[in-house]
Structure 1
Amino acid sequence: MGIELLEYQTTLKSSLSLSGIGVHSGKAVSIHFSPADADTGVVFQRVDAEASGRMIRALASEVGETDLCTGLGDVKGDHVATVEHLMAALLGMGIDNVSIEIDGAEVPIMDGSAASFVEAFRQAGIRTLDEKRRYIRVVKPVRIDAGSSWAEFRPYDGTRFEVEIDFDTPTIGRQSFAADMTAEVFAKEVARARTFGFIKDVERLWAAGFALGSSLENSVVIGEDHRVINMEGLRYPDEFVRHKMLDAVGDLALAGARFIGCFHSYRGGHRLNAAALRHLLTDHSAFEIVETTRRERGRGAEMIAVNAPVYAPWVL
């Protein structure tokens, strides 16, 4: 499948707000989205009394934690945790620029997937701006290994994700899912996949201060008998690997620009995704910055390399 050519940057047509609880903190939190100018990117601002109110850009350079979730900012200061589902929805739905105010330290988990964000963005609408969109195009393979896990980027004529998981439980086992990522594919095949966990891990997580807001309403839970205990069952037969793809989409959205290439991971997670992205962005021979240019009438469009400014978000 070829590239889904989107020539210009986008933002929301109107503002919107959502509320929920943090899956790890268990605290109520509200989040407000506003349209933003071209080249703003995705910017978070804490507006609660415990924060200084500094802007936190959704970039790989701001990643501060990767245990159980992806967090941005200084864990000891202003930070926003569990951004991956929201970031996946923004990238998946083609939204480049948005200002986000949040009155807590964790993005609400909603139903454990990106579906609520997708629906909210659809209702708000997406507006095309006047500035060209730039892409990170992978021009040579780069790979990172971490024990039995690995992840790689390789050149590809599109934006493709290939994710494999392998769990030592018959409920999951080894699963793989691959897709060329467009807004339609994301909304239909990926966005509704929920986070998951094992009942045997709950007490350990609680003791460590995690999963305080986790419930059967926002997580797929696997019981001691290796069965899914949620009454409604799974949304997809392979919902587990699709959720891992959702996480990967969200983690790679922190590149600061959409990538053209294929990302393939085996037994990955937030830490590996973040490490793979940094590995790509620090090897300036592995990628180039391109944008869409229109050819002569009737001949479509093509991607051309451009000179990136020194302040570009992908420069680490």
Structure 2
Amino acid sequence: MTTTSLRCAVLDDHQDVAAASADWSTIADRVEVVTYRDHLDDEDRLAARLADFDIVVTLRERVAFPASLLDRLPRLALLVASGMRNSVIDHAAAARNGVTVCGTGSSSTPPVELTWALLLALARGIVPENTALRTGGPWQQTLGADLHGRRLGLLGLGKIGGRVARIGLAFGMEVTAWSRNLTRERADEVGVTLAGSQRELLAESDFVSVHLALGDRTRGLIGAPELALMRPSAYLVNTSRAAIVDQDALIEALREGRIAGAGLDVFDIEPLPRDHPVRTTPHLLATPHLGYVTRDNYATYYGEAVEDIRAYLDGAPVRVLR
């Protein structure tokens, strides 16, 4: 492959910050970089947009690259995805089409912080109180939920779940955790209680937060039967993967007041259509997948994307995903 006249597409740069988040000048003499702020979820339109690009940079799992799309991009040679794991890229199809797939580093701090932003805002009614204050509404209309002495139940106790747990402990909460592979040794290491079962954790927690990887065993892990186990005063937060929680069942539970509220940063469809029911569901605090959207994280993502591109052009790809 010649290293002249190569073109790179940077997808879903919603905030128009990709160019300023890294030093792209190190590859400017070999690659023309084009950024796109919009999101395309139609495969035909996406295939047409990317037809003339040799390199594509995509954030997390915002854009899927199935075989049907990769087969339509004969010019594509390098696909860079932020993070070191991506479930929406067909790696076998990429290999078959001669596409090298590379990842980047990331930090576990931003999703931890957003988890607590959602949880605290739910507990203290921050959004409705702020809205009322700024629009001339009633002075004090919600009754906050205390954290100290309450039980925080974590589904998953990995790197992110462990950090969330330690903050809960700092608030004086009783923290329990459960996952199919969670050991007592890991729970003891973090200083939390190992729940006897998922059912026990859901039934006895005042706040439940999801921190699991998406896979065959976690897809749909929380559906209508599981939501029915939760207390009417309990809150659910999901900043992990949308498919772990049955979105329709959660919307129904919130509309019927069977749980006190929920905080979501991930959704079955992203970006959410304007008429999506999530936008009008009561007792739901939702953010547009902001978990990893921070200055420092973007500096890592795009900075290492440039490194990936430069290394590939030099014939020694780094951080290759398979």
Range into which the TM-score falls when normalised by the shorter chain: under 0.3
Decide which structure has greater strand share. 1
Decide which structure has greater helix share. 2
- Relative contact order, higher structure (CA 8 A, sep 6+): 1
TM-score, normalised via structure 1 length: 0.22
Question: Quick check: which has more Rg, 1 or 2?
Answer: 2
